[in-house]
Structure 1
Amino acid sequence: MAVVVVGLLIAGIAQNLNLTAWILTLAPAMPLMSWAGREYYRQRDTADQLEELMKKAKTFWNQALAGACDDDACLHQSRDFQNAIYLRRATSPLVLPYLYKIKRPMLEDEMNEAASDFLAEYKAREAKIQSVP
């Protein structure tokens, strides 16, 4: 969005446009700038909601590892998290395809590392429990 505005400003300065010409130059770009602004806020709100969901999931994970919830409660809460994740994915705005292609490998690596960390944490907890007589 800023690139379009700066580009139009530079073009206007280079052509020494008067006020009417400036308006006629910027007017066609307004729908693009409006869409870009809305999309920015939608994506930011979605990211904030996902961060909050991740914090809650990590808290639940720690509670489950500590044995602070029984099997039924943990099962119910994990199902609630799966529902929340599905709802976020179903209602969130799509990421632009070219950005998705660029960021996907990095984000997949990050996800796999986090899953490995969770698994290692679980295995360490299980090994600690089994080593206690």
Structure 2
Amino acid sequence: MTLNAIPEKQNQPKFIRLLRARSETYRCAVHWQIVQLIFTVLVPVGCAITGLLFTQTRPYVAMIAIAVTLLDIAILDRAVKRQLKIAALICEEFDCQLLDIPWDSFTAGKCLQPETIIKADRHWSSGDSKLVNWYPKVVAWAPMYLARIVCQRTNLWYDATLREKYGSFLLSGALLITIMFVVAGLVVNLSVDDFVVTIFAPCAPLLSWALRDFFKQRDAADAQKMARSEAESLWELAITGGCCQDECARRSREFQNTIFQRRVSNPLIFPLIYNWLRAGMEVDMNLGAEDLLRKAGITIVASPPS
């Protein structure tokens, strides 16, 4: 007999509805991110190519690069952050209801209006196959106060690992593109002035965007790893009897605050790269949770209900 209903509850219609709303909201944020990517990466790259081929356009290339940087800061970045806040609130509602964690209005403010969730859910059209079994099914074999810690620790591990990999990939790609254009400028023997106007000015928004996201991703991953370390310390206390259930619940609420704040402030991950990294990481996540329970002496009899 399982000791909590997390694996079964997470696949109930009300929780899948929240996950659909969350996914749709993130998809809207991704749309803004794509627009941001076009203006901060593709437009400058296109300008660089144009400047290399048509010398008379080079004075305008620098002007476009500056305009793109201002557009990104004033409009595009703000639009992405608004969507991230909504998605974080939906995730918080999902976790609080599923993991039996009280809502903290001091940290998260008020819950979203139901119409916001209903609208996002209604627009989601990609099915539920990637939404079921959100947390590892094996947590069913642990008491609720332990299963909650495993889910939160898993959340922190997954996010930190994903962001570390993505940040490195992003910066490497931006540097590679910049180096390619520098080499191209050397090949056509640009003067110093033309090099600045045609190569460095257009590449500046690209490098700025990549460096900004790289450091944001790295800072977010470091913060998640610190919180994960605390969660692992709490886990050791809990399984050795050094932490009562009420104290574990209180500490879990503190971890949830960290998770929520990271969700609000963390930059998005480009979906193609996320999908590429996701499959292998989900396998590791589930096996890691199972290993954690087994090392704690918790018997996993069979696959819990899904």
The normalised TM-score by structure 1 is: 0.85
| 2:98 equivalent to 1:98 | no
The aligned runs of 1:1-40 (5 Å cut-off) are 1-26=174-199, 27-40=201-214
The C-alpha deviation readout for 1:32-86, integer Å capped at 9, x for no partner, is 1111111110001001111111111101000000111122111211222223223
Question: Highest Rg: 1 or 2?
Answer: 1
Using the alignment, how far apart are the partners of 1:116 and 1:85 within structure 2?
22
Match of 1:51 in 2: 225
The match for 1:113 among 287, 302, 305 is 287
Using the alignment, how far apart are the partners of 2:277 and 2:175 within structure 1?
21
1:121 deviates by 2.6
| 1:98 partner amino acid | L
Structure 2 unaligned spans of 5+: 1-173, 300-306
Moved over 3 A (4+): none
Using the alignment, how far apart are the partners of 2:204 and 2:298 within structure 1?
56
| 1:83 partner amino acid | N
Match of 2:161 in 1: none
| 2:180 partner amino acid | G
| 2:247 equivalent to 1:73 | yes
Call closer, same or farther: CA 1:125–1:112 in 2, change over 3 Å.
Answer: closer
1:97 deviates by 1.4
Call closer, same or farther: CA 1:125–1:110 in 2, change over 3 Å.
Answer: closer
1:125 deviates by 5.5
Identity of aligned residues (%): 35
The match for 1:88 among 254, 262, 268 is 262
1:109 deviates by 1.3
RMSD over aligned CA atoms reads: 1.5
Using the alignment, how far apart are the partners of 1:18 and 1:98 within structure 2?
38
Using the alignment, how far apart are the partners of 1:91 and 1:18 within structure 2?
42
1:113 deviates by 1.4
| 1:103 partner amino acid | L
SS in structure 1 at match of 2:268 = coil
Contact 1:8 1:25 survives alignment (8 Å): no
1:91 deviates by 2.3
SS in structure 2 at match of 1:110 = helix
The C-alpha deviation readout for 1:1-29, integer Å capped at 9, x for no partner, is 21122111110111011111111222112
Using the alignment, how far apart are the partners of 1:87 and 1:34 within structure 2?
24
Call closer, same or farther: CA 1:89–1:80 in 2, change over 3 Å.
Answer: same
The normalised TM-score by structure 2 is: 0.39
SS in structure 1 at match of 2:229 = helix
| 1:106 partner amino acid | G
- Count of aligned pairs: 125
SS in structure 1 at match of 2:190 = coil
SS in structure 2 at match of 1:69 = coil
1:118 deviates by 2.0
